Structure formats: structure tokens, C-alpha cells
Amino acid sequence: MTLADDSPRTVTAPAVPVPPDPTPPPVPRRRGPSLSRNRWGYAYVAPFFVVFGAFSLFPFLFTAWVSLHDARLSDIGGGTFVGLDNYAALLTNDFFWNALRNTITIGVLSTVPQLCLALGLAHLLHYKLRGRTFFRTLMLVPYATSIAAATLVFATLFGRDYGIINTALEAVGLDRIDWESGTLSSQVAIAVIVTWRWTGYNALIYLAAMQSIPGELYEAAEMDGASKWRQFLHVTIPSLRPTILFTVVVSTIGAVQLFGEPLLFGGNGATTGGARNQYQTLGLLMYQQGWTNFNIGQAATTAWAMFLIILAVVGSAALVGRYRARREGARR
């Protein structure tokens, strides 16, 4: 991992197509003579690492240790050492695979529409608008609403017998849906909650990136006679690609850790994620193992499995990105 050495025009800088530039622009890095080799660096990161080490790193490593034990919640430090048995058991555990499947489908169902809608919304917000601050602020209201409050309301809206979504479906001549008890329907409902909460936030990130797209690109496209739609497809989207990749990664991390929405969606505090575990995510499974079944060793194992999954997803995204980068580089 080479984070520290990379120049960081992350997120928003337009990737393609940049006007041909024979010499790469100077990258301002590792040049400052007096600020480099600066021992103050340690002092500046020290406050962070003191708190971080005490309150984040220790629990993290402790969890790894617990995952190697057959430990109960009430006696967390006193379980018997079982090596990798918990991990082996996890691989043959139907509940784990079910939760993994659910996490993936809910993740796809929420991330894809969320980011597409955010793009569209950002496009709209990019116009010259009356009350632009008002609209932008409005888009952030869902993010300011707590997961608990949002889920509580949506669970009511998605109610089988008295929810207004079903009332509306019936009014237009469709059948009522038992949202909570169906597999796909419950996952869609949860994805709707996630989408609702994060679309506006992502839209503003995209909007910021759009504003940094150089006007010349659009002018050039217009001269070529490209329609607004084609400009969106061939100028806006490619320019946003790094931002899009970034939001995909961040949403993926969020999706794998999804926990509050499926916990609260059932409305009766059950950690099973529905009667058939139809919307139990990995985060919820871990919670059930640890706090409902008191099997903290199993829960720690699931937590570490989640970590490894995220690592794999982000790692492969990184590889794709690198491959692309190389290809683009070769093209130039």
C-alpha cells in the first residue's frame, strides 16, 4: 500500500479526457527540504495514535484473540482456546452463507440505485437554480435523520395491513405486498431505507466533482454537436469516474457493515432478520451470535470474516483501478 507516496487528487479530478499534456504536470511531493525529515511528524500524529491505540486498536486485536476461543459473553476472557475451529465452523454454517447472500443482494439493491439516483440528482442540482442552497440542504436532511428514526418510519410505511405503501398499491389496483415476510420484498424495503438516507449525500459529492469539470470539455463537445444527454454520458460520467469508484468503495464498506436497518425493520427487536432470516445481514448475524446467543467467540469470528471480505472487495477494486490506470497510461 503506497498511500503516503501518492498524490491525492482523489475523488474529483477529471480523469478522462484531459486535454493532451505532453509533460505531466509537476506533482508537488517529496520536495520540501526542510519540512521533510521533520521529527515533529511524530508529535503531530501522537494525539491521534494515543487515542486510537487505546480505544480502537486494542479492542480490534482483542476481538481477533477472542475469535480463537470458545467464549461466552458472560465470561469473555475465560473461554477455551480452539485455534481456527470457529473459522472452520463458519465456513460450513448455513446461517453465515445466508447472511452473506443477503448482505450482497441488499448491498447491490441499495448501492446501485443510490449512486444512479445521486448522479441524476447531482445533474439537476448542477443547473442554475433558484434557491440552490435550499435544495442542497434539503437533500441532506435524510443523512441528518438517525437510522433508528428513519427505520421506524419506513417500517410503518411498509406495513402489510396498514402501511400507506400498500394502501397506495391497492388504490391503483395492485395487490398488497407482505413486505416484511418476503425475501426479495423485505430486502427491497431495507434497500429503500438505505437509499433514502444516502442518496442526497452522494449527490452532493458528485455535484462538487461536476463543478470541477472544465467548461472547455463541454464547449468542445457542443461544437461536435453532442446533445445534452451525450454530453452527460461522454463528458460528465467519464470525468466523474474516480469519484464514482470512491463512492462505490465507501458504500460497499457501509453495505457489508449494514446492521441498524435490518435490526429495527422487524419492529419487535428480533435479531433474526425475519422469520426465515430473509433479511439477516452479516452485521446482524454477528450481533445475534454475540448478544442474543451469548456466543461471543462465534461473533468475533464473523466480525473478522466481515473484515476479510471488505478487504477482498476493496482490494479487487484497487486492482481494477490500477489496471485501468495502467491501460489509460499506455494509451497516452
Partner 1 sequence: MTAVLTPPTPARTSGRRPGTKAGRAGPVAYTLLVLAGLLSVFPLYWSLVAGSHTNAEIAATPPPFLPNATFFENVSAAMDQAPLGLAIVNSVVVAGSITVGTVLFCTLAGFAFAKLRFRGSGGLLALVVGTMMVPTQLAVIPLFMMIAELKWVDSLQAVVLPTLVSAFGVFFMRQYLVTALPDELLEAGRVDGASTHRIFFSIVVPVARPAMAVLAMLTFLTAWNEFFWPIIALTAANPTVQVAIANLGSGYVPQRAVIMAGTLLGTLPVLLVFALLGKQIVGGIMAGAVKG
Partner 2 sequence: MTVRRRARAAAGATLALALLTTGCGGSDGGDDGDQITLTLGLYGTFGYEEAGLYEEYMDLHPEIRIEQSVVAQSGPYYQALQTRLAAGSGMADIQGIEIGFVSDVAANHADAFVDFAAEDNAEELESSYYDWKWDQASTDDGRVIGLGTDAGPQAMCYRQDLFAQAGLPTDPAAVSALWPTWDDYLATGQQYLASPTRQEGSAFVDSPNSVFAPAVRQGDTTYADEDGNPVVEDSDGVQSAWGLASQAAGDGLTARLAQFSDEWNAAFANGAFATIACPSWMLSYITSQLGDEGAGLWNIATLPGQSESGSTWGGSWLGVPSSGEHVEEATALAEWLTAPEQQVRMFTEQGFFPSSSVAAESPEVADAVSEYFSDAPIGQVFGEAAAAVRRTPISPYDTQIQDAFSAALTTVADGSRDPDQAYADALAAIEQITG
The answer to whether 174 and 235 have CB atoms below 8 angstroms apart is: no
- The one among 140, 174, 233, 237 contacting partner 1 by CB under 8 A: 140
**Stretch of 44-52, 94-102, 179-187, 270-278 contacting partner 1, by CB under 8 A:** 44-52
- The one among 102, 262, 286, 297 contacting partner 1 by CB under 8 A: 286
The answer to whether 166 and 159 have CB atoms below 8 angstroms apart is: yes
Helix orientation angle between 58-66 and 296-331, rounded to the nearest 10 degrees = 120
Q: Could you say whether residue 104 binds partner 1 (CB under 8 A)?
A: no
Question: What does the per-residue mask of binding to partner 2 show for 159-198, with x meaning CB under 8 A?
Answer: xxxx---------------x-xx-----------------
CB of 161 to partner 2, least distance (A): 5
Dihedral sign from CA coordinates of 271, 274, 276, 277: negative
- The one among 107, 109, 115, 242 contacting partner 1 by CB under 8 A: 242
Amino acid letter for position 168? A
Query: Cα–Cα distance between 148 and 136 in angstroms, integer?
Result: 23
Q: Could you say whether residue 174 binds partner 1 (CB under 8 A)?
A: no
Q: Which is nearer to partner 2, 160 or 234 (CB)?
A: 160
Q: What separation in angstroms does the CA of 313 have from each of 64, 244, 249, 251, 252?
A: 20, 15, 8, 11, 8
Q: Could you say whether residue 137 binds partner 2 (CB under 8 A)?
A: no
Helix, strand, or coil (residue 267): coil
Give the bridge partners for 81, in sequence order: 69
276 binds, among partner 2, partner 1, none (CB under 5 to 8 A by kind): partner 2
Q: Which is nearer to partner 1, 15 or 112 (CB)?
A: 15
Q: Could you say whether residue 94 binds partner 2 (CB under 8 A)?
A: yes
Q: Could you say whether residue 272 binds partner 2 (CB under 8 A)?
A: yes
Q: Which of 264, 253, 258, 271 has its CA nearest to residue 307? A: 253
Binders of partner 1 in range 310-329 (CB under 8 A): 310-311, 314-315, 317-322, 324-325, 328-329
Q: Which is nearer to partner 2, 148 or 233 (CB)?
A: 148
262 binds, among partner 2, partner 1, none (CB under 5 to 8 A by kind): none
CB of 279 to partner 2, least distance (A): 13
Size (the chain), residues = 332
Q: Which of 97, 116, 119 has its CA nearest to residue 108? A: 116
Query: Cα–Cα distance between 115 and 119 in angstroms, integer?
Result: 6
The answer to whether 240 and 262 have CB atoms below 8 angstroms apart is: no
Question: What does the per-residue mask of binding to partner 1 show for 200-239, with x meaning CB under 8 A?
Answer: x---xx-xxxxxxxxxx-xx--------x-----------
CB of 259 to partner 2, least distance (A): 14
Query: Cα–Cα distance between 209 and 232 in angstroms, integer?
Result: 13
- For 212, phi then psi, to 5°, come to -95, 0
Q: Read off the C-alpha cell for 99.
A: 447472511
Q: Which is nearer to partner 1, 59 or 276 (CB)?
A: 59
Give the footprint of partner 2 on this chain (CB under 8 A).
Answer: 72-76, 93-95, 155-156, 159-162, 178, 180-181, 266-270, 272, 274-276, 289, 291-295
